Chain A
């Protein structure tokens, strides 16, 4: 018997939407009676119901527990998603972020009552500056792409301050999509520079294109192919000689933390994804944080707010007036309040746990694990470039040639074997890319089991053909979903079955 009466399959439980579980009048929160019935809203009281369903607390717990069980997670399994750094998220970080002294403080308390919070931000900033060798860091960006915006706007402000209008930003073809999107959001014309046969940027092509119209170069290093840009110092010199700035995308910082100071590479700005390198949880897509380190030339233009520390204690520089008194010229403000504070607590908890020695060991183990995958899979899959790689190993789909199995099919078959797939079809510079980032928190046993699984899948693709792969995944809460239908006829919210009559105006 394959079908059940309920549609449930043992622990695989079907679950409706909350809107389909409504018991009108039911609630999971007992709220006291209002102290008065007097309303002072003018004539702006809501006249119609909102339409929210009523559920009790146990129903809510069961509903979201069941939903959670439909998710893959780092806690439950190996998650080698390239360029995402899915490392273990320590639970100590969560406990620290929930200390009332951090979680229950208001952003606009008098600064005299939040000296510990400002100390925490300043301490984290100090670590980030020392690890990168950079003199300043803007803490407020909320994510990697937001950090890119911060760095690029600092660059724009520095150029404007010297009366230098430069319309072009160069990015390599292998760049993450946020790079060109950010440069365009900053009003720049984006030009893509091709890579070379070694998986690096074409330094010669870059140098030839540099000139008085180029504002900046945005370059991920280690790059999106998982390789260190060998000519980076040479390139950063050329960028500076041309009067431009060098934005280094720090998405792959986990490979080099504690080993390479990015100041020594000549970078002017780099964002640090705290949710990658510093272990704060990805949370199903955020919240992250993207503090952005800045060179001496860019530091004066860092956005509001920032923390300063002197013999009077810690202070927040929140307004243009405050900044003027500090002698800086912020390009503006990127975010409400003071940045992703709860993420800062988690990142500092991790950094203090690891220490300088532990961070160095972590980057080393991350690179070791990636090279172990590259070496043990090189005869089964097809590596795109020669090693050693940094913290991720890139393969392409040549090993699937003539099998009828695509990269996507291969990935879906991995799901049935209990793995989250690697990043697929990125970077765009190789065909059918499979980008694996094991991170340092995986054991040798996990990697060996993974390698054995991929070898068996590759064998099955060669020997048994594509049919089984096309049908994968079979054992998941849902099988392949119709993305075309989702986009063609978008259903983006629940609506009641019976159309509700619009209230007459």
Chain B
């Protein structure tokens, strides 16, 4: 087996030194009833590289890749061009095959990029401080809700109807687990819900997505003020980080905690995972923040260096009193995010955001001209909702049959709301050409006629 260095002679010699006759003898503490001396389970034996390559290629070939057809999918996962340098750099073995940086003297590479990552996330979100990443946007959102209950010592959380249904579900699951209360508003495709009116003295936080799940950018300034008057926090979730290149940051609008999904920068969509959760907050709430933090310090020679710090919040020190049970997070995806952001810089990133928005404007106008289509939002970043003359789920299937991945039906997430059955979420990014948009509009016209 190509990954196992021992020869049979090595094994025999090592067993002799240990003083047992066979490897099976080393398992003598395993109850005999549970120990198998032979392979079991009717499973295939080892394969060479070529055979594995052949079989997995066959599976991969049964998927239609977004890059091979016009694709306008979003709903929390956005396809962007990732520069070649990003994937090269993250595959360097020193990054790929190292562990969590517990030995800082030989992990300065990881620690320094985490420090850069934390700084980038703080700048993008308009917050003071960010952690070294969470699993994904949805889990970061749930952790933010828990953190708000710790900060305010209140038990109740309000979830906007514009929050991504997965963020909502993950947050609700964790709230139930902890015996906390939550109020979830119904889906809000028109952006008319009244969140301020529901805040009271028991409210720990309000969680709202921007742009919301239906693509609408929201001015959260007034909501933030209402939250703060009532002693509650405002948590803002960002599903498309590229939007931060063109839109006012959540921090500017008064957010107290910002969470985001970061995979859109640096990593492909990869069927939705792995992602990377961004998590940022105000300095004053630092001690209640979950997850790993990297901090600057000096070594014995007085040289600047970096370490994991404030670990007294964490499970390996605090055990059952920790701020979260999180241990492993998403280091390599955070690295991809950091490298992609570094490559873009201020100029590239803000320009990328403008191109996304411009393409969405172009697409919205082309689709609005299709009979049977109404663009629901007048404002958006790179994603918007369409109201169709037919059920969106059927339309999407018909478009797929024509070789177009034409958006995500809202009913896929919210199947019990009949009034949402004709809503379709459509996204344009820098990867979409005008020819693709025309093909989409033409196909949609045929499907709806």
Contact = CB atoms under 8 A, between A and B. Distances in A.
B319 A180 contact: yes
Contacts of B276: 287
A336 B173 contact: no
Given A68-B95, A482-B299, A184 B335 contact: no
Indicate the member of A71, A183, A335, A480 with the most B CB atoms within 10 Å.
Answer: A71
A254 interface: no
A331 interface: yes
A304 B169 contact: yes
16 contacts: A17-B115, A26-B347, A30-B348, A60-B342, A73-B93, A92-B53, A116-B61, A120-B59, A232-B31, A286-B330, A331-B173, A358-B46, A362-B1, A365-B23, A491-B296, A493-B122
A177 to B, nearest CB: 4
Given A94-B91, A361-B4, A71 B98 contact: yes
A31 B286 CA distance: 36
A476 B105 contact: yes
A106 B71 CA distance: 9
B325 A337 contact: no
B47 interface: yes
A42 B217 contact: yes
Given A146-B139, A286-B274, 16 more contacts: A17-B112, A19-B116, A34-B359, A35-B361, A57-B85, A63-B342, A64-B342, A71-B109, A74-B97, A75-B97, A286-B333, A342-B271, A371-B26, A375-B17, A388-B29, A442-B5
A353 B122 contact: no
Interface stretch (B75-83, B147-155, B195-203, B227-235): B75-83
A500 B350 CA distance: 21
A273 to B, nearest CB: 8
A99 B270 contact: no
A497 to B, nearest CB: 14
Interface in B96-135: 96-110, 112-113, 115-116, 118-120, 122-124, 128-130, 132-133, 135
A11 interface: no
A184 B95 CA distance: 33
A318 B362 CA distance: 32
Interface string B1-22: 1111110001101110111100
B34 A388 contact: no
A112 B400 contact: yes
Contact of B358 (A35, A185, A368, A473): A35
Contacts of A81: 99, 102
Contact of B94 (A31, A69, A339, A354): A69
B170 A333 contact: yes
Nearest to B348: A27
Interface stretch (B182-190, B301-309, B441-449): B301-309
A342 B297 contact: no
A264 B315 contact: no
B181 interface: no
A465 to B, nearest CB: 19
Contacts of B71: 106
B209 interface: no
B66 interface: yes
Contacts of A99: 56-57, 60
Contacts of B389: none
Interface stretch (A206-214, A277-285, A394-402, A453-461): A277-285
A115 to B, nearest CB: 5
Interface string A429-445: 00000000000111110
B430 A32 contact: yes
A6 interface: no
B52 A92 contact: yes
Interface residues of B, number: 214
B5 A343 contact: no
A333 B135 CA distance: 14
Contacts of B113: 64, 67
B419 interface: no
Contacts of B108: 67, 70-71, 477-478
Question: Closest 4 interchain pairs by CB?
Answer: A337-B272, A101-B60, A283-B332, A332-B173
Contact of A481 (B17, B137, B298): B298
B161 interface: no
A43 to B, nearest CB: 7
Nearest to A480: B300
A91 B258 CA distance: 36
B119 to A, nearest CB: 4
Given A52-B349, A67-B109, A368 B270 contact: no
Indicate the member of A97, A106, A146 with the most B CB atoms within 10 Å.
Answer: A106
Contact of B46 (A27, A49, A353): A353
Contacts of B19: 375
Contacts of B172: 332
A372 B17 contact: yes
B135 A69 contact: no
B322 to A, nearest CB: 4
Nearest to B349: A52
A285 B101 contact: yes
